[in-house]
C-alpha cells in the first residue's frame, strides 16, 4: 500500500543548527529536585535541543513505578523555564494530551505500547484535531511496519503535520543482547516509503544497557537518522525506571561528542569514490544474477532427469544437505549466517517451483 504524508520538516519546529536533533532527559520525572538537577546538568553540557521526561509510565506489571502523573508537570515546566529548552513527554490518552497542553508541554510522543492499538491512536488523533503541536510516534512493540505507518497516517489525517517517528526497537521472544531488537530494516523501509518523515533513534530502549548505547546510536547516525532521544539521569543507578540504560548528563555529553555524524552531502572526491565502488557492486550483482540463471538451467536439467525416472521434485535429505554445506561455506567466507540460510531457502524454493513446472509440462 502506498503511503504519503503531509509533513513539515523538522526545521519548521526545532532549530538544531544543522546537527542531529538531541532529546535528552530522565526516563521518568521522579521528584522536582531530580528533574531540575538533571535538566540543569543537561543544559550545561550544551548538547540537547529538547528535554524529555516520562510523566505517566506504561509498566508491564502493576506495582512497578507508574510515573508521578500530573504532579510532575509543574516540575517539568520549571525545568523548561530554568533551561530555556522545550520539553517532550509521552501521552497515552486524551486526558494526558489535555493536561500536557494545559501546562505548556511543547512536544508529545506516543509510546510503543500505544502505537500497537489503532483504537488508542485514533482517540489521540481525535484529541489533537486543531492543535498545533509536534508529535513523535514510537514504533509499535511488535515488528509491524504497517501499524507504525497507520498510526502516523491517523495523526496526519487529524491535521498533525509536525510529525516524526521514533525507532525504539521491537520486542523479541528470543534472548538477544539488546532489550529491544533494532530490526534496522523496518526503519529503513519506513524512511524509504516516507522520505520526508523525520526519524529519530532511541538507543536507550533498544540497548537496555549503558554499554550498548554507543554502538546503537552510531548505527542510527550512520543510517542518517534525524536525531536521537536518549535517557539521562543525574544518578542513573538510582533511577526509579530503566536504571540500567540511563547515563549521567556528563557521560551522555561525552558519548555524543565521540559519535561520528556522517555528512549528508559528500564532497566531489568522496562522491567519485562512491561511484567507483557502486559501479563494482553493480557488476558483482550482475554476476550474481548470471550465476543464479546458470544454476536454474542446471535445475531444469535435473527436473527432466527426475521426470524421466519418476522421482519426486523435493527430497528432504538433499535440502538439509544443501543448507548445511552452504552454511559452512558461508561461514568460511565470513558471511552472516542468516543471510546464507535465507538466501538458500529462497533459491531452493524457486528450484522446487521450477522443477514442478518442468515435470508437469509433459505429464499435462
Ligand atoms: C520511554 O520512552 O521511557 C518509554 C516508555 O518508551 P517506549 O514506549 O519506547 O517503551
Ligand atoms: Mn524508559
What is the total count of domains within the chain? Answer: 2
Q: In testing the pocket of ligand 1, which one of 67, 96, 112, 143 has its CB within 8 Å of the most ligand atoms?
A: 112
**CATH code of residue 196:** 3.20.20.70
For ligand 1, atom 3, name the residue with the nearest CA: 27
Q: Could you tell me if residue 74 is inside a domain? A: yes
Q: Could you tell me if residue 105 is inside a domain? A: yes
The verdict on 20 and 159 lying in the same domain is yes
The verdict on 339 and 279 lying in the same domain is yes
pLDDT at 364: 45
The verdict on 224 and 89 lying in the same domain is yes
Q: Could you tell me if residue 53 is inside a domain? A: yes
pLDDT-based confidence at residue 271 (cuts at 50, 70, 90): low
The verdict on 127 and 181 lying in the same domain is yes
For ligand 1, atom 8, name the residue with the nearest CA: 111
Q: What is the mean pLDDT of residues 144-162?
A: 98
For ligand 1, atom 1, name the residue with the nearest CA: 27
pLDDT tens readout for residues 195-214: 999 999 999 999 999 999 99
For ligand 1, atom 6, name the residue with the nearest CA: 111
**CATH code of residue 338:** 1.20.59.10
Q: What is the pTM of this model?
A: 0.77
Whether pLDDT at 361 is above 70: yes
pLDDT tens readout for residues 222-253: 889 999 999 999 999 999 999 999 999 999 99
Residues with CB under 6 Å of ligand 1 are 27, 54, 58, 90, 111-113, 138, 168, 205
**Structural domain of residue 109, as residue ranges?**
10-258
* Mean pLDDT, rounded, of the chain: 93
Q: What is the mean pLDDT of residues 135-148?
A: 97
Atom of ligand 1 nearest to the CA of 166: 9
Which ligand is the nearest neighbour of the Cα of 170?
Answer: 1
- Alpha-carbon separation of residue 68 from 29, 60, 76, 78, 124 (angstroms): 7, 17, 11, 15, 21
pLDDT-based confidence at residue 60 (cuts at 50, 70, 90): confident
The verdict on 230 and 285 lying in the same domain is no
The verdict on 244 and 287 lying in the same domain is no
pLDDT at 59: 84
Atom of ligand 1 nearest to the CA of 169: 9
Whether pLDDT at 272 is above 90: no
Whether pLDDT at 326 is above 90: yes
The verdict on 154 and 284 lying in the same domain is no
Amino acid at each position: 500500500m502506498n503511503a504519503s504524508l503531509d509533513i513539515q520538516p523538522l526545521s519548521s519546529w526545532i532549530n538544531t543548527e544543522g546537527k542531529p536533533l538531541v532529546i535528552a532527559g530522565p526516563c521518568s520525572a521522579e521528584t522536582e529536585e531530580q528533574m531540575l538537577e538533571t535538566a540543569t546538568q543537561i543544559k550545561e553540557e550544551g548538547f540537547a535541543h529538547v528535554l524529555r521526561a516520562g510523566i505517566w509510565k506504561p509498566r508491564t506489571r502493576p506495582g512497578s513505578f507508574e510515573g508521578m502523573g500530573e504532579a510532575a508537570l509543574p516540575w517539568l515546566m520549571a525545568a523548561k523555564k530554568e533551561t530555556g529548552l522545550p520539553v517532550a513527554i509521552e501521552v497515552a490518552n486524551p486526558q494526558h494530551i489535555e493536561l500536557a497542553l494545559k501546562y505548556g508541554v511543547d512536544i508529545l510522543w506516543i509510546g510503543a505500547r500505544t502505537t500497537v492499538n489503532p483504537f488508542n491512536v485514533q482517540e489521540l488523533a481525535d484529541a489533537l484535531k486543531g492543535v498545533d503541536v509536534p508529535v513523535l510516534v514510537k514504533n509499535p512493540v511488535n515488528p509491524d511496519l504497517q501499524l507504525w505507518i497507520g498510526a502516523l497516517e491517523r495523526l496526519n489525517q487529524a491535521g498533525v503535520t509536525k510529525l516524526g517517528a521514533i525507532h525504539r526497537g521491537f520486542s523479541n521472544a528470543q534472548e538477544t543482547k539488546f532489550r529491544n531488537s533494532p530490526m534496522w530494516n523496518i526503519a529503513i523501509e519506513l524512511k524509504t516509503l516516507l522520505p520526508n518523515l523525520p526519524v529519530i533513534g532511541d538507543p536507550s530502549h533498544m540497548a537496555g544497557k549503558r554499554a550498548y548505547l554507543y554502538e546503537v546510536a552510531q548505527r542510527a547516525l550512520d543510517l542518517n537518522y534525524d536525531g536521537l532521544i536518549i535517557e539521562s539521569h543525574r544518578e542513573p543507578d538510582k533511577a526509579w525506571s530503566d536504571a540500567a540504560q540511563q547515563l549521567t548528563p556528563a557521560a551522555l555529553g561525552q558519548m555524543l561528542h565521540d559519535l561520528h555524524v556522517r555528512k549528508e552531502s559528500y564532497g566531489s572526491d568522496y562522491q567519485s569514490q562512491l561511484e567507483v565502488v557502486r559501479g563494482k557492486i553493480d557488476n558483482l550483482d550482475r554476476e550474481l544474477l548470471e550465476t543464479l540463471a546458470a544454476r536454474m538451467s542446471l535445475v531444469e536439467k535435473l527436473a527432466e532427469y527426475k521426470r524421466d525416472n519418476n522421482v519426486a521434485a523435493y527430497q528432504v535429505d538433499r535440502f538439509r544437505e544443501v543448507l548445511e554445506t552452504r552454511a559452512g561455506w558461508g561461514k568460511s567466507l565470513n558471511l552472516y549466517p542468516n543471510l546464507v540460510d535465507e538466501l538458500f531457502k529462497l533459491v531452493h524454493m524457486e528450484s522446487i517451483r521450477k522443477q514442478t513446472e518442468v515435470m508437469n509440462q509433459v505429464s499435462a
